[in-house]
Structures are given as C-alpha cells and as structure tokens.
C-alpha cells in the first residue's frame, strides 16, 4: 500500500476594522478574530482607548489573508484625516449601523 502525505494548509483571515460610539469617536484596529475582538470591545475587557470612550459599535471592516497587508492598511487608515475615514465608512455603511448586531 502506498503511503500518501497529507499537507494541510490553513488560511488565516485578518481584519482591519473601525469601531465607534454614540459621539462617533473612531477607533481603528487589526485582529485575526473579528467576532472575539468586537466582543472584547463591547464588554470593555481590554483597558485603553476603546473602553474609555465606549467604542462598542462596529461600523466598518475589511478582510485579508496577509497580516502584513492588514497592519499596513491599519496604519494607512489611522493616518487619514477624520473626513476620509468617515467617507470610507459611509461608502459601505451610510447609516453607521452596527455591523456586529446579532453576533453575540
């Protein structure tokens, strides 16, 4: 009997995302597990900006399989003026709906 070698390839997803609050304060981040990270923001499990400003609504995200591309994109968005970030959000989510509604 011939032995076969199995190679398993796992494809990882990385997400660049923007969270906001009632005052529309913006937070941009990167993660490999969007659902878990949004949960952490909503539950204020990680001390810092998002818990201080209660940025608990996911209004934008994009996915890639390349972690370096995700980190570069996060840095790019963080460097933008607020107006450009707002335009990005509104290009896919004009009402600023919570894209994670119903996840948890």
If one looks up domain 14-92 in CATH, what number appears?
3.40.1440.10
Q: Which residue has the tokens 């570069």?
A: 72
| Every domain of the chain and the residues it spans | 14-92
What's the number of CA atoms in the CB half-sphere (13 Å) around residue 18? Answer: 26
Q: What is the pLDDT of residue 103?
A: 84
pLDDT, tens only, 8-66: 656 699 999 999 999 999 999 999 999 999 999 999 998 899 889 999 999 999 999 99
Q: Which residue has the tokens 């981040």?
A: 29
Q: What is the pLDDT of residue 59?
A: 98
Q: Let me know if 62 is exposed, middle or buried by CB neighbors in 10 A (0-12, 13-18, 19+).
A: middle
């Amino acid at each position: 009997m011939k032995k076969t070698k199995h190679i398993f390839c796992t494809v990882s997803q990385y997400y660049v995302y923007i969270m906001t609050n009632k005052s529309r304060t913006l937070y941009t981040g990167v993660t490999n597990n969007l659902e878990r990270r949004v949960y952490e923001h909503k539950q204020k499990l990680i001390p810092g900006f998002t818990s201080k400003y209660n940025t608990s609504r996911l209004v934008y995200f994009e996915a890639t399989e390349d972690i370096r591309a995700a980190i570069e994109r996060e840095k790019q968005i963080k460097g933008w003026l607020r107006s450009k970030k707002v335009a990005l959000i509104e290009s896919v989510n004009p009402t600023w709906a919570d894209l994670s509604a119903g996840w948890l």
